[in-house]
Amino acid sequence: MDKIRWGIIGAGNISNTFAKAVCTLPNAELTAVAARKLDAAEEFAREYGIPKAYGSYLEIVQDDEIDAIYIATPHSHHYEHMMLCLTHGKHVLCEKAFTVNEQLSRKVIEFAKEKKLMLMEAFWTRFLPMTLKVREIISEGVIGEIKAIQTNFGFDLTHLGFASRVFDLTLAGGALLDVGVYAVNSATMYLGNEPTGITCVGKKGPTGADFKNSIILEYGDKIATLSSSIDTKYANNQLIFGTKGMIEVPEFWQCQRAIITKEHEESYEISLPHDVNGFEYEISHFTECVLSGKAESDNMTFENTLAIAKITDECRKQMDLIYPFE
């Protein structure tokens, strides 16, 4: 096998981003797309020149000409759809949040191990050239030892209406799993998977979902302050403070720039633009893992996924946030 044949489950906005990126990779091709309604799948297939369109998810997983499936359905359905794909022998790249809790995440990971299939949470931020460069700068000690991180990530999405998926508690909507996981992920990248303390305050909106939240993760004498929102526009940047300087990462979740400031020195900027839209890096990584026979990423590991789920579980507990289907 020298090329991965991809299928897509879900024909929403993020699937468009995936399709635009995967089409540019030499070792990957789009073979099929499935949506709840056949006409939506057919329209998506026409736009990207995809040979097959299905009106059910069962049909696409039964297609023997598909090797891997990208899942971009609401958070509430990720577990069900991952298990369906794995049961039918498909490698799986699933959008964040991986599942709605740590327990379900563990179940699907164990099943993937049992089936010897590649499985990864689609945290594209981890694979961006700028993210890798920031991690390299930190590992080289340029800003010394990290002491604090401040991350904020918020949008005013109220124009979509409260019937939108992002506000729908029955679909696990809300700030935490939609945008907050990006901030949590960034903290675990730089400070580790096991905070010594977790504090979370959230504000619920009319739908019962969390419309905004603030999280403090303690790592001994280090601290990460993370804020997310779906009803208020934030600055959407990240500040990493070290003993010898700091790094500012504008638009950290899709970062293409970083500003490094060292004590008693002029600040300087690094720029690493995306080749396509940023998704190409995680897709390429996942594809290469499959082609080389790997079942787990060394960048977005199962341990990373479970750590994020454990933190968000505790945050939900402190916000008294329960999804109706749990």
Q: Which domains does the chain have, with CATH numbers?
A: 4-123 (3.40.50.720), 126-278+308-319 (3.30.360.10)
Pairing outcome for strands 68-71 and 268-271? unpaired
Q: Which residues contact 303 (CB under 8 A, 6 or more apart)?
A: 193
- Count, residues in the chain: 326
Q: Is pLDDT at 6 greater than 90 in this prediction?
A: yes
Could you give the percent of the chain with pLDDT greater than 70?
A: 100
Q: Which residues contact 314 (CB under 8 A, 6 or more apart)?
A: 198, 200
Check: CB of residue 222 under 8 Å from CB of residue 148: yes
pLDDT at res. 326 = 87
Could you give the percent of the chain with pLDDT greater than 90?
A: 98
Query: Starting from the edge strand earliest in sequence, which strands make up the sheet with 28-34, in order?
Result: 52-54, 28-34, 4-9, 68-71, 91-95, 119-122
pLDDT at res. 182 = 98
pLDDT at res. 1 = 74
Cross-strand bridge partners of residue 119: 92
Separation CA 168–CA 172 (nearest Å):
7
CA 179, 73, 17, 192 dihedral sign is: positive
pLDDT at res. 160 = 96
pLDDT at res. 315 = 98
